[in-house]
Copies of this chain bind each other. A is one copy, B any other.
Amino acid sequence: MIDIAAQFGDNLARARRQADLSQEELSVMASLHRTEISQLERGLRIARIDTLVKLASSLEVSAGDLLAGLSWSPGGKRLGAFVERREK
């Protein structure tokens, strides 16, 4: 199991440092509270997609870059169900 919030937080903190921005600067560019950025970087909350778009554009990275390391293995299409079995 991946800790989604922690992985995203690591990605965000790394991208922010690479962009040489403070949390305060990023918060102004992305119109977010600095507190929210701090909480996201520490894995204390999970971002919504509008926040993802704001952060990725402000950091000049792709949304995929900020989601690096996050993946999902899809389940099968159908739920199990009782079926009729014909006796031979």
Which residues on A are within 8 Å of B, measured CB to CB?
Answer: 4, 8, 21, 25, 28-31, 46-50, 52-54, 56-58, 62-64, 67, 70-80, 82
Quote the shortest CB–CB distance from A54 to chain B (angstroms): 5
Docked CA distance A28–B79 (Å): 7
Docked CA distance A75–B63 (Å): 18
Q: Which residue of B lies closest to A58 (CB)?
A: B74
B64 touches A29 (CB 8 A): no
A77 touches B30 (CB 8 A): no
Docked CA distance A48–B72 (Å): 14
B72 touches A58 (CB 8 A): yes
A67 touches B79 (CB 8 A): no
